[in-house]
């Protein structure tokens, strides 16, 4: 597939966008590894949260549905946090700071 690139600057912008997307995908994946899943009462299914992500919760009849709901909610949570400029919680033990939007 050949996509015409109008300038080196445009190419650099495309690369930067791809890098940001890869970085956010990696961040989401790391955050989901921290998910805590709780079985609710009989026939109530499951609830999941990620420590440090205030107000973020997922639920579902099965663990799989619960994690899928949490993943979807996480994407929206991250988007809103970045739009508001409040930064993102650290998702690994090596990170000790809040990550902010550039």
Per-residue pLDDT, 34? 94
Task: Encode burial over 44-68: b for 16+ CB neighbours within 10 A, e otherwise.
Answer: ebbbbbbeebeebebbbeeeeebbe
pLDDT number for residue 100: 44
Residue 30, pLDDT score: 93
Domain 8-84 in this protein, CATH class = alpha beta
Q: 90, 96 in Cβ contact below 8 A?
A: yes
Q: Where are the chain's structural domains? A: 8-84
Q: pLDDT by residue for the chain (102 residues), tens digit each?
A: 455 555 655 544 454 554 555 788 889 999 999 999 999 988 899 999 999 999 999 999 999 999 999 999 999 999 999 899 988 998 875 443 444 444
């Amino acid at each position: 597939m050949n996509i015409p690139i109008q300038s080196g600057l445009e190419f650099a912008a495309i690369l930067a966008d791809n890098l940001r997307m890869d970085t956010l995908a990696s961040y989401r994946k790391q955050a989901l590894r921290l998910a805590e899943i709780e079985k609710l009462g009989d026939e109530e299914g499951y609830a999941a949260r990620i420590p440090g992500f205030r107000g973020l919760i997922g639920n579902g009849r099965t663990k799989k549905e619960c994690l899928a709901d949490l993943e979807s909610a996480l994407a929206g949570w991250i988007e809103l946090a970045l739009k508001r400029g409040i930064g993102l919680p650290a998702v690994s033990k090596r990170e000790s700071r809040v990550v902010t939007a550039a």
